[in-house]
Amino acid sequence: MFGGVRFGGTLTIDEAYADGFDHIALCAGAGRPTVLDIPNGFARGVRAASDFLMALQLTGAAKRESIANLQIRLPVVVIGGGLTAIDTATESLAYYAVQVDKFLTRYEALGEEPPAWNAEERAIAQEFLAHARALRKAQPAERLALLKSWGGATIAYRRRLVDSPSYTLNHEEVEKALEEGIVFAEGLTPTRIEVDTYGHAQAVKFTAGDKEVELPARSVLIAAGTQPNTVLAREEGVSLALDGKYFLASDETGAPVRPERHTAKPSQPQVLLHRYADGRYMSFFGDLHPSYFGNVVKAMGSAKQGYPTVSRVLAARSPASSENDERFLGRLNRDLRAVVHEVRRLTPRIVEVVLRAPVAARRFHPGQFYRLQNFESLALRVPGTTLAMEGLALTGAWVDKERGLISVIALEMGGSADLLAYLAPGEPVVLMGPTGTPTEIPGNETVVLAGGGLGNAVLFSIGRALRAAGSKVIYFAGYKEMADRYRVDDIEASSDVVIWCCDEAPGFAPRRPRDRAFVGNIVQAMHAYASGGLGAQPIPFSAADRVIAIGSDRMMAAVALARHDVLAPYLKKDHIAIGSINSPMQCMMKEICAQCLQPHVDPATGKTSYVFSCFNQDQPLDQVDFGALAQRLAQNGAQEKLTALWIGRCLKQLPPPAERKAA
């Protein structure tokens, strides 16, 4: 088994067949969550059930030694009636007790509270601490009553319990959930999320016939169903046809067929979906298949019923590769598994990690990113804590496709990114990607790049690609402190003119005659350059056809607003403005967990739509709902800031990392 390989991203259909595989079976499940389009549906405290369950299992947040952050509050309301809703309700109630106890343990050991807590986070922390102390004092038999007194967990379903998918599919599981204290509220259709003065969820309103019902809720977990995830059909270079919401099936001649819908035992299992030109096939099973969609039992049945078809098409042609197993697997191990090549410190707070991952490097295009983690089994340990990273979304700063090298750059902010400096050359890591959509690279345009802090790492490859395509680049490189600047040569190579911006005086001294410098923020620098305040413009700001902003959510929101305010007199009315949106991300596998879901509001119509940022991180600045983005980025705020202190405490128990040279 090879982890960290996203089919369609790291490895395409053509590449898999070129590598010598004889068959590709898609068994990826459903995954694409249903979005409830109701007022305040993206308030803090609201999550997709898939986001919650994946965070619980993928990060190991419930382990007492874990540093993963997953913050929930009571009461919990789960919206839905399937088995996922049952799992979400029971797991959330069990996890809450573990979460607050771990929170209290670390708080007491630290002996201080994070100075960065705001008033709301401090109040949430006091709530967690009080609940943890009460649970510690209680006898085991009394703990469920305490959890229920704080609101417990309620499943809200639009129909009766006996009509719910969970009851009809597995009533024993429903019975066990009720025994564990879960409440099942029938006949409720959600209409809006009510929020408190901080914008956090505090209740859900429902209609129940001709009545309105309100349930208190600090955590709202949406388990309203999923759809087959057919994102592979939209990947670059993939030509798979769709049949409604499913892949289009084929028979053994390659002709399209329509399998029986919604039956666990079709009269003829039709599991093939694509015939390659040389007679090799793809197949699909479980939730991806219209006959077997629904649950794990059907998925297992699809494999049992479909394997004879796969066996027949495999027997009909000779193996694609003449390599023996040892040679074949050895090549895959070299090409698909990522190892650390080198670790470099660029500034006091910024670290560059160079990885050897040949296939992942070959597939990279400017603007795409990777998901990086260390292995838990190889992670550093201190008493009571395993320093296994949460999945980090890191953009490729540069790649060397010939040598199979990828550079990723991270800012140390007190979380998992602080562990990157401790990686050792030769250490295996999990690197998934590239993922996201490549940035559009136009030719013969004038493009303004606005990079804030770490966002500049993303722009190295974008700027180079723009210049190679014949475009002119005006690059605004912004930093809070002078010590934050890095890779000056790369920024100069990515631009025709650079305006170096820094909040800290005296600012930077440009090295090239055509470059400029400014003390202040990036919007002020853009205005100064555009208005002539920095002298003659080597490339006129008014010539800009496109603006690409990459940085913090506040920086991108400021650029978005300034284009219609102080910068409006200097910009073309029809210019294009894009931001690389840094939504919180978890799986990064495109339309699976929904943690990265971002609402857009059309400025002309006011209509709201939704984008998975891990699928398409480059989004029109005028459509991004920056308020919703800020809410989602703060989902785990109280816990993240305590964890940052905890990681700092743990790292003090380890020898400081030296710069790690290439293996």
- Main-chain dihedrals φ then ψ at residue 57, nearest 5 degrees: -90, -45
Tokens 């003065």, located at residue: 197
CATH of the domain at 563: 3.40.50.80
The CB density around residue 532, as the number of other CB atoms within 10 Å, is: 12
H or E stretch at 574: none
Residue 663 is predicted with a pLDDT of 39
Length of the chain: 663
Residue 399 maps to a domain: yes
The CB density around residue 241, as the number of other CB atoms within 10 Å, is: 12
Name residue 53's amino acid. L
In order of 188, 479, 635, the CA distances from 613 in angstroms are 31, 25, 16
Q: Do 339 and 425 reside in the same domain of the chain? A: yes
Specify whether the CB–CB gap between 446 and 572 falls below 8 A.
no
Residue 207 is predicted with a pLDDT of 96
Q: Do 44 and 183 reside in the same domain of the chain? A: yes
Q: Do 155 and 133 reside in the same domain of the chain? A: yes
Residue 151 maps to a domain: yes
Residue 238 is predicted with a pLDDT of 65
Q: Do 546 and 455 reside in the same domain of the chain? A: yes
Euclidean distance between CA atoms 243 and 170, whole angstroms: 30
What is the value of pTM for the model shown? 0.92
Residue 457 is predicted with a pLDDT of 92
Own/partner long-range contacts of 265-268 (Cβ < 8 Å, ≥24 apart): 265/301, 265/305, 266/291, 266/305
Name residue 453's amino acid. G
Residue 55 maps to a domain: yes
Q: Do 498 and 546 reside in the same domain of the chain? A: yes
Q: Which residues contact 542 (CB under 8 A, 6 or more apart)?
A: 530, 570, 571, 572
Specify whether the CB–CB gap between 409 and 457 falls below 8 A.
yes
CATH of the domain at 142: 3.50.50.60
224, 248, 271 - which closes a domain? 224
Q: Do 462 and 504 reside in the same domain of the chain? A: yes
224, 239, 262 - which closes a domain? 224
Name residue 324's amino acid. N
- How would you classify the pairing of strands 369-374 and 392-400? antiparallel
Q: Do 529 and 576 reside in the same domain of the chain? A: yes
Q: Do 518 and 655 reside in the same domain of the chain? A: no
Euclidean distance between CA atoms 89 and 180, whole angstroms: 10
Residue 102 is predicted with a pLDDT of 97
Q: Do 496 and 572 reside in the same domain of the chain? A: yes
Specify whether the CB–CB gap between 248 and 241 falls below 8 A.
yes
What is the extent of the structural domain holding 337?
Answer: 1-19+321-438+648-663
Written as one string, the DSSP assignment of 435-491 is: ESPPPP--SS-EEEEEEETTHHHHHHHHHHHHHHTT-EEEEEEEESSGGG---HHHH
Tokens 């169903």, located at residue: 225
Residue 122 is predicted with a pLDDT of 97
Euclidean distance between CA atoms 590 and 581, whole angstroms: 15
Model pLDDT for residues 227-282, shown as the tens digit of each residue: 888 888 877 656 788 888 889 999 999 999 999 988 878 989 999 998 988 899 99
CATH of the domain at 372: 2.40.30.10
Residues 459, 461, 463, 465: is their CA dihedral positive or negative?
Answer: negative
Structure tokens at 501: 């911006």
For 476, left (φ over 0), alpha (ψ -120 to 50), or beta? beta
Q: Do 487 and 362 reside in the same domain of the chain? A: no
The count of domains in the chain is: 4
Q: What value, to the nearest 5°, has the Cα angle with vertex 520 and ends 498 and 637?
A: 105
Percentages of the chain per state (helix, strand, coil), in multiples of 5: 35, 25, 40
Q: Do 149 and 287 reside in the same domain of the chain? A: no
Euclidean distance between CA atoms 366 and 460, whole angstroms: 8
Residue 306 maps to a domain: yes
Give the 3-state secondary structure of residue 500: strand
Residue 635 maps to a domain: no
Burial class (CB in 10 A: 0-12, 13-18, 19+), 281: buried
315, 335, 361 - which closes a domain? 315
Q: Do 81 and 27 reside in the same domain of the chain? A: no
Binned average pLDDT, 10 residues per bin, the chain of 663 residues: 86 89 88 85 94 89 95 98 94 97 97 94 98 97 96 96 89 93 96 97 96 97 87 74 90 92 88 90 92 85 94 94 93 95 94 96 94 95 96 93 96 92 96 92 97 93 97 97 95 98 96 97 98 97 98 96 98 97 86 87 92 92 94 94 96 80 44
Give the 3-state secondary structure of residue 466: helix
Q: Which residues contact 231 (CB under 8 A, 6 or more apart)?
A: 8, 32, 590, 591, 615
